[in-house]
Amino acid sequence: MKIVFCGLIGQGTSSLEHLINAGIEVALVITEPAEENTILKKKLETIDNLSKHSLREYIKYNRIKDLCAKNKIEYIEVANKSELIVLKEKIKTYNPEILAASTFHLKIPAEILELFRYAINVHPSLLPKYRGASPIMWALVNNEKLTGVSVHLITDEYDAGDIIDQIQIPIDSEDTAATLSARIFDIYAPEILIRVLTNIKLSRITPKKQNTAEASYFRKYTIDDSFIDFEKMEAQKICRIVKAGNYYYPAHFNLGEEIIIIWNAEFIDRDFDGFAAGEIVGIAEDNNGLIVQTLKKSVNIKVLQKNLPTIAPLIFGRQLLELVK
């Protein structure tokens, strides 16, 4: 059973590596050009420190290419839909049965989908909920307690095809986008993809239509969604944004002309008398954080960092107060 795999860094890299290790025949890999790696490029243009900390392994190259070279798998880089369509005849020469996508930057056209017995996508949510490009971040912003991974048939509508299989994943109270993504990318997404491919081979799948009445769609999460306004936001929302941003798009606020990144913040179920929203209450009793009053309740900011062209040191404890004076 020959596979054509479409994927990018992160979930795509891990899924491909697991397919190879499982002995599944990957005939061809389609990815995006490393020099035009839009995922990396956009992060580097917005928040330098975030990319250098969270994506430092990928800044110089797309590791999918390395996996292919090491395992003698042909790979093709495509930057747009037109470049993908012209691959039709080449794909035919492999006589593949399955197209498997795991984070891919292009909508796969019908001309390509029709070449396969099955075309499937690995989506990191419990469909039909959280369709769209950033389900992990939005699940954290919305304080969900449960998420998952779904494998569905690819159709003309994003994330709307019949569901083949799903895995439920609890969201821990301390989870950030980084920790939750790591579990999904490295464990659950590859696991369910291999399970589905095995069941396809054994003719054991029964795709089920999604319940559109339960469907929800969330747009792509952006750096603007991680902006913190202590005067207008409640503490619980701020803490959820910090968790959601702790990966690609970190929570941040403006301090004069500087951008300050928040890496860790804790909810305090208390309003401090005499302090207006946005005012600093002081250093936490254990010297582990900076307490700020918000629109409702307070937050204890534990780790900050200046956003600079070079990697700035993380700031903890009493140093936090020195930063914001």
CA 129 from chain center: how many Å?
16
Residues 24-43, mean pLDDT to the nearest whole number: 71
pLDDT score for 83: 92
169 beta partners: 147
Report the chain's mean pLDDT, rounded to a whole number: 89
pLDDT for residue 42 is more than 60: no
pLDDT score for 46: 45
The hierarchical CATH code for the domain 225-324 is 3.10.25.10
Residues 139-168, mean pLDDT to the nearest whole number: 97
128-155 as b/e: b if 16+ CB within 10 A: bbbbbebbbbbbbbeebeebbbbbbbbe
Question: Confidence band (pLDDT; 50, 70, 90) for 311?
Answer: low
pLDDT score for 192: 98
pLDDT score for 25: 96
Question: Confidence band (pLDDT; 50, 70, 90) for 45?
Answer: very low
As a whole number of angstroms, the distance between CA 163 and CA 159 comes to 9
| pLDDT tens track for 103-136 | 898 999 999 999 999 999 999 999 999 999 999 9
Contact 265, 283 (CB under 8 A): no
pLDDT score for 265: 96
pLDDT score for 257: 87
Any idea where the domains of the chain sit in the sequence? 3-214, 225-324
Contact 320, 255 (CB under 8 A): no
pLDDT score for 309: 67
As a whole number of angstroms, the distance between CA 192 and CA 297 comes to 41
Q: What is the pTM of this model?
A: 0.89
pLDDT score for 35: 54
Question: Confidence band (pLDDT; 50, 70, 90) for 243?
Answer: very high
Give the CATH number of domain 3-214; options: 3.30.429.10, 3.40.50.170, 3.40.50.720, 3.40.50.300. 3.40.50.170
> What percentage of residues in the chain have a pLDDT greater than 70?
90
pLDDT score for 306: 85
pLDDT for residue 297 is more than 60: yes
